[in-house]
């Protein structure tokens, strides 16, 4: 027997699988109603509590179009910057021509001629005149311009046979804008006309909030990007990314899209982390599975709820050290679009520092009956015209039906259908 026996290979125990950490939920969510779902308006307000307006900074005028001004613009210059003649003629003091008439003409020596906007010359001495051209500055002391034909030049003197009113034939300095005038108040939308005014008084930049950066990340292997071939019967073209990106861009956001990525939680988590560095808001288009919820919970705080009028689970999160808000939207074109209009749009506007603008409402008369759900509000695509609302009768509407609709009929919970000729509330699209 050997002195040192060879030890048998020890059986290595299987490594313990650590349970996934419990998700951390956002505090103080709205209470659910009797049917187990949250009120839509209460849910929207809850989301807004976790989204702050972006900090403003100085932005060049051309880049500020469509943004919201975060300061008040006051003029520090007069417009026009000088008092100018509106006609060719004689700059005079009106008081010097009091009593002038054909029988008693007033004769004033002409001491200078101004034919340029580059200088106004020396102040006008009392009892003299200066010849000026239209648009030229009048000298200090002159308070009227006699039209050229109403004065007769004789040698170095001009003869006048009529009185003239104070400030006649003049455009006064500061008559359009006066130094110190409030031109654009804080909170004004920077339209091209407003930006033109700001430029006219000499500003080259303004304090404004930047455009919110919205990332649209679509994770669904059954979707195919437009332009690529469909290779399986289960595949469909992705309309959600285009719908959401175009909607966010129209609402003033700077939009980034990722194309379609794998919905596998680990790879999705990596992609999501990479996108957070350029996002003020992330819209994740995917099914709100338990795996997706767990993945999001590993990167921040989450909220999961059933919300009245919206399909499936509604998932919201604030992710990463910058607490970037992220909203999970369904993969269907219609539910994704409606979720954007009812939830995400208010978040985009909050980031931009704008008031929350909800869909406009209008009452209309049904042309066809609509089935109701006894437990929750239904939103039905419809076409509104002249106070009459016609439902688009499809069980699985998509982008084609969405393009035909201009409203949704809001059908409150009921055990009975809403009949023809009944009045319903409509939320207007676009």
H runs (alpha helix) in 128-264: 192-200, 240-250
Token digits of residue 363: 């009452």
Please give the C-alpha separations between residue 149 and each of 131, 144, 161, 225, 306, in angstroms, as whole numbers.
Answer: 12, 15, 11, 76, 84
Query: What are 54-104's pLDDT values in tens digits?
Result: 999 999 999 999 898 999 999 999 999 999 999 999 999 999 999 999 999
Maximum distance among all Cα pairs of the chain, rounded to whole angstroms: 153
Confidence check: pLDDT of 17 > 50: no
CA end-to-end span of the chain, whole Å? 91
What's the rounded Cα separation, in Å, for the pair 384 and 405? 8
Q: Which of 151, 161, 184 is nearest to 68 (CA)?
A: 184
Instruction: Please determine, looking at this structure, whether the domain spanning 40-54+210-351 carries the CATH number 3.30.70.1450.
Output: no
pLDDT of residue 62: 94
Q: Which of 352, 347, 359 is nearest to 47 (CA)?
A: 347
Cross-strand partners of 148: none
Tracing tokens 């409030």 back to the chain, one arrives at 182
Helix (H) / strand (E) element for 44: namely helix 40-48
Q: Which of 350, 355, 281 is nearest to 322 (CA)?
A: 281
- Are 108 and 158 in contact by the 8 Å Cβ rule? The answer is yes
The pTM assigned to this predicted structure is: 0.78
CATH classification of 57-77+178-208, choosing from 3.40.640.10, 3.40.50.720, 3.90.105.10, 3.40.50.450? 3.90.105.10
The topology (CATH level 3) of 84-171 is: Molybdopterin biosynthesis moeA protein; domain 3 (2.170.190)
Query: What are 157-186's pLDDT values in tens digits?
Result: 999 999 999 999 999 999 999 999 999 999
Confidence check: pLDDT of 18 > 70: no
Each domain of the chain, given as residue ranges in start order, spans 40-54+210-351, 57-77+178-208, 84-171, 361-428
What's the rounded Cα separation, in Å, for the pair 129 and 154? 13
Average pLDDT over the chain reads: 91
Q: Which of 137, 159, 145 is nearest to 89 (CA)?
A: 145
Tracing tokens 């767990």 back to the chain, one arrives at 294
Burial label for 375, CB within 10 Å (0-12, 13-18, 19+), is middle
CATH class of the domain defined by 361-428? mainly beta
Burial label for 287, CB within 10 Å (0-12, 13-18, 19+), is middle
What's the rounded Cα separation, in Å, for the pair 84 and 137? 4
236 Cβ neighbours under 8 A, 6+ residues apart: 222, 223, 224, 230
- Are 106 and 100 in contact by the 8 Å Cβ rule? The answer is yes
Query: What are 281-327's pLDDT values in tens digits?
Result: 999 999 999 999 999 999 999 999 999 999 889 999 999 999 999 99
SS3 category, 407:
strand
Say yes or no: do domains 57-77+178-208 and 84-171 share a fold. Answer: no
Confidence check: pLDDT of 20 > 70: no
Rounded average pLDDT over 262-280? 92
pLDDT of residue 361: 94
């Amino acid at each position: 027997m050997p002195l040192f026996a060879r030890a048998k290979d020890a059986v290595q125990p299987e490594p313990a699988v650590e349970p996934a950490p419990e998700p951390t939920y956002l505090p103080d969510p709205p209470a659910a109603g009797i049917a187990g779902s949250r009120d839509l308006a209460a849910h929207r307000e809850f989301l807004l509590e976790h989204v702050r307006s972006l900090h403003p900074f100085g932005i060049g005028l051309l880049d500020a179009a469509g943004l919201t001004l975060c300061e008040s613009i006051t003029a520090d210059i007069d417009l026009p910057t000088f008092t100018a003649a509106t006609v060719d003629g004689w700059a005079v003091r009106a008081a010097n021509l009091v009593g002038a008439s054909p029988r008693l003409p007033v004769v004033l020596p002409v001491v200078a001629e101004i034919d340029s906007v580059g200088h106004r010359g020396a102040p006008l001495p009392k009892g003299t005149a200066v010849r000026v051209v239209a648009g030229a500055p009048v000298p200090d002391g002159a308070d009227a311009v006699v039209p050229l034909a109403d004065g007769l030049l004789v040698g170095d003197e001009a003869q006048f046979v009529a009185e003239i009113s104070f400030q006649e034939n003049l455009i006064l300095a500061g008559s359009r804008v006066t130094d110190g005038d409030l031109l654009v108040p804080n909170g004004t939308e920077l339209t091209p006309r407003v930006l033109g005014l700001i430029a006219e008084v000499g500003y080259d930049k303004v304090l404004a909030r930047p455009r919110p950066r919205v990332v649209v990340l679509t994770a669904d292997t059954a979707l195919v990007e437009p332009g690529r071939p469909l290779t399986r019967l289960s595949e469909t073209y992705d309309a959600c990314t285009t719908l959401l990106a175009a909607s966010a861009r129209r609402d003033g956001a700077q939009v980034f899209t990722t194309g379609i990525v794998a919905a596998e939680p680990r790879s999705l988590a990596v992609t999501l982390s990479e996108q957070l560095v350029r996002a003020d808001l992330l819209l994740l288009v995917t099914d709100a599975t338990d795996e997706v919820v767990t993945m999001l919970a590993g990167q921040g705080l989450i909220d999961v709820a059933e919300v009245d009028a919206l399909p499936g689970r509604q998932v919201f999160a604030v992710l990463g050290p910058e607490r970037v808000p992220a909203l999970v939207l369904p993969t269907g074109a219609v539910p994704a679009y409606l979720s954007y209009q009812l939830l995400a749009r208010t978040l985009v506007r909050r980031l931009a520092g704008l008031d929350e603008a909800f869909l406009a409402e209008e009452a209309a008369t049904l042309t066809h009956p609509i089935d109701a759900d006894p437990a929750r509000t239904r939103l039905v695509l419809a076409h509104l015209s002249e106070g009459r609302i016609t439902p688009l009768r499809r069980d699985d509407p998509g982008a084609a039906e969405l393009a035909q609709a201009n409203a949704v009929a809001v059908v409150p919970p009921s055990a009975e259908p809403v009949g023809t000729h009944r009045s319903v509330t409509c939320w207007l699209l676009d």
